Structure 1
Amino acid sequence: MKPWRMIYWPEASPLDYIVTRPLVNDLRAEGKIPDTFMIYAVNRYFVAVGRHINIDDDVDMGNSAKLGVPIFRKIGGGGSGIWGPNSFQFAMAFGQDLFPSMEESLRVMIGKILLQAVHATGVTAAFYKHMGDLLVGSRKLGGFAVLPHGERCVNMGGFLNVDELDISIASAVLKTPEEKFRDKAAKDIRDYATSLHEQAGKEISRKALVTAIALHLEKVLATKVEFTGLGKMGMEFYDSYLSQYASEDWTFSKSSSKRFEKFPEGYRLGLSRHKSRKLVCAHVLVDGTGKVAEVMLSGDYFIKPIDGDDQIANNLVGLEAADPEAIRKRIEQTAQSIGFEAFMMSPEDFTIPIINACQKALGKKA
């Protein structure tokens, strides 16, 4: 097995994280770099919004601006979080042939390698919960997700709480829809999250933690780890990725307040939220003749292809909003034609809120 490249950024900016994650995944997918494991210690708090999240649902824009907390959108699914000096952020890019499945890649990379490094800090009560969480009791130390990136690369990322989060900043900036906690015992971030510092009862050496991660990566995968920087090739593309992933168009690509700020007279807007394993929100704009004019799907889900929700939404335009069977059939046809997969969910979990939003726009009970 070829050596893994490990990049540790002890003073990374939020932009370094936002820009280099898609950059490294693209380079790995093109076979231009080896398997890469990146660890970021970001130097200030920032909000990372999930790729499919409606930013207006999750972020208090006024408080974010007042506190100087920048907002960025991730390239992957999942929810939103506030990250910063208290935590490590991770981004891993490796070949799809390394593990037999996405679930197995999480079990090994997080449930073995990272968990063993966590145990080395003295937090021996930590355990891995399928899929992607590191917990102590019912409280979360870290959360990770994985998706294919193109046909050859795996995009894995997440966070690990090393020190305690500044709750005052998090509570001021983040807005969590009540549906998110509906199936969870914890109803507040104070009960939901924990840290290595809190659990170990001592300061955690970040350098020692990084060394332990590299050591267990070598042992578990029977490979070698080489510590490097981003490299000349990565730096050559940095600015072009910066212009894309730090742009307002990308950050606000899913914003109900911007998309539906104005619409023609006689048009009506319906909203419905549906919580299964993940939350799916549907905004449906219906024109004066009762036809679907625009749909925006959002939520903390993980899907393949990554823009599958937008393809489903776009293919509903022109249908009769009062015809749920036509809507359901079009969603099923689109899902089949694009190979749509929603992890731990089904296309029906998207169909339900869309039909309900149509009913609300038409003034009927959903």
Structure 2
Amino acid sequence: MSWRFVSLPPQDGYHMVTSFVSVADYVSRGGKDTLLVFYADKPFVNVGVHQEVWLEVNLEFTKKMGISVVRRDLGGGTVVITPGEHDYFIVVRAEEAPSTPKALYEKYLTPVVNVLKSYGINAELRDQDIVVNGKKISGNGAMTYDKAVVVTGNILLSLDVDLISKCVKVPSEKFRDKMAKEMSDWLTSVEKEIGYVPPREEINKRLKEEFEKWLNVKFEDASLTPEEIQLWEKLARDKMNEEWVYYKDNRHPELKTERCVKINNAVALCHIDYKARKLLRITVKIVSKKIDEISISGDFFVMSPKGFIEELEDSLKGVDVAKYQEVVKKMFEDKKPVIFGFAADDLIKAIDELMKKPEVQEVI
């Protein structure tokens, strides 16, 4: 089988997070499966599609430094992308892709693991990440687009822990110092592992070789088509729109709190962070013993259906606090979402825990 190999020059954040969508559109219309590689020309903060910017990003610092905040179409957590990464995007026809996230990642990330091993790095796949002796060296995500599936990720060539820690929102500066130290403990890079950064051309050559061997395919060096470039430019412009960047924040303007407060005898506002397989961040406004509004955010991945989280939030509006479990279960049964990071039971447990907070108990 013949694949395209496309290597692009460095790009800004808006072009970084939209390139694979235009390629997925091409593949959906019958184009060849594609491996796309390039990297960022300058640092930017990349928030997951299901995250709220105000909860995740140190906006005071990013604005002061002129660092863009970009919302991608993929789930996962907030990451600070720097020119020290080598990014790849694997775009294939949906019928070729395994239906479970675990099998999908194994199929398309094993060649990346093998490239790292070729440098003497003890790399292994753990869920959707590639780790070296327990430290992450590659973060990855996946999404469906029409008739295509996209797996996107990076190889950390070098790390700027100081910059990364300053871009992320934390409770205090003391905590930021602690986070920077912890980041050094759970992140690694090719440079840290082998003492130097290999040339990107060499990494690309090895990626091609490993993908060809593992998937039994043959690459042809190619460029993006004029149609892909045209769509890519439009999508990048759309991503620059602040309405999109702050979409999740603006959807719930009254739910900006990281604590629980009783507003009066009938109203409470409460937030909880709940660790399922991935992090769930839930904020609920209770009015007269009903869920007036709920925000469900976090670093999880929703493979399908598109818009499931928003539909789930909407379905819970106006629901009696004693009946939300039934609504959650029915939504999961009816829509059969493919989610990497949490299940219906996790969400119910998280909301249960939130409902047990004293501030909430006083109004229900």
Provide, for residues 183-214 of structure 1, a one-character-per-residue CA deviation record: whole Å limited to 9, x for no partner: xxx97111111111121112311111011111
Kindly indicate whether the alpha-carbon contact (under 8 Å) linking 1:5 and 1:34 is maintained by their aligned counterparts in 2: yes
Residue 245 of structure 2 corresponds to residue 231 of structure 1: no
Other structure's SS at 2:207 match = helix
Alpha-carbon distance between aligned partners in 2 of 1:206 and 1:132, rounded to the nearest angstrom:
23
Other structure's SS at 2:95 match = coil
User: How does the TM-score come out when normalised to structure 2?
Assistant: 0.87
Aligned match of 1:127 in 123, 128, 146? 123
Kindly indicate whether the alpha-carbon contact (under 8 Å) linking 2:137 and 2:188 is maintained by their aligned counterparts in 1: yes
- 1:16 deviation in Å? 1.6
Structure 1: 4+ residue segments shifted above 6 A: 261-266
Aligned match of 1:171 in 165, 168, 172? 165
Tell me the residue number matched to 1:37: 35
Alpha-carbon distance between aligned partners in 1 of 2:334 and 2:160, rounded to the nearest angstrom:
46
Other structure's SS at 2:274 match = strand
Tell me the residue number matched to 1:161: 156
Residue 4 of structure 2 corresponds to residue 5 of structure 1: yes
Q: In the comparison of the two structures, how many residue pairs are matched?
A: 348
- The correspondence of residues 1-366 of structure 1 with structure 2, limited to 5 A, is 1=1, 3-29=2-28, 31-101=29-99, 102-111=101-110, 113-120=111-118, 122=119, 124-150=120-146, 152-163=147-158, 165-175=159-169, 188-255=182-249, 259-260=253-254, 267-287=267-287, 289-303=288-302, 304-321=304-321, 323=322, 326-358=323-355, 360=357, 363-364=360-361
Kindly indicate whether the alpha-carbon contact (under 8 Å) linking 2:45 and 2:81 is maintained by their aligned counterparts in 1: yes
- 1:256 deviation in Å? 7.5
- 1:262 deviation in Å? 8.8
For residues 262 and 195 of structure 1, do their structure 2 counterparts lie closer, same or farther at Cα, with a shift above 3 Å needed? closer
Other structure's SS at 2:316 match = coil
Kindly indicate whether the alpha-carbon contact (under 8 Å) linking 2:142 and 2:149 is maintained by their aligned counterparts in 1: yes
AA in 2 matched with 1:299: G
Instruction: Between 250-259 and 131-140, report the one with greater CA deviation.
Output: 250-259
For residues 17 and 315 of structure 1, do their structure 2 counterparts lie closer, same or farther at Cα, with a shift above 3 Å needed? same
Kindly indicate whether the alpha-carbon contact (under 8 Å) linking 2:15 and 2:233 is maintained by their aligned counterparts in 1: no
Alpha-carbon distance between aligned partners in 2 of 1:262 and 1:127, rounded to the nearest angstrom:
40
- 1:359 deviation in Å? 5.2
Kindly indicate whether the alpha-carbon contact (under 8 Å) linking 2:284 and 2:295 is maintained by their aligned counterparts in 1: yes
User: How does the TM-score come out when normalised to structure 1?
Assistant: 0.86
Other structure's SS at 2:280 match = strand
For residues 311 and 176 of structure 1, do their structure 2 counterparts lie closer, same or farther at Cα, with a shift above 3 Å needed? farther
Aligned-CA RMSD value: 2.7
- Segments of structure 1 that go 5 or more residues without pairing to the other structure are 179-185
For residues 236 and 32 of structure 1, do their structure 2 counterparts lie closer, same or farther at Cα, with a shift above 3 Å needed? farther
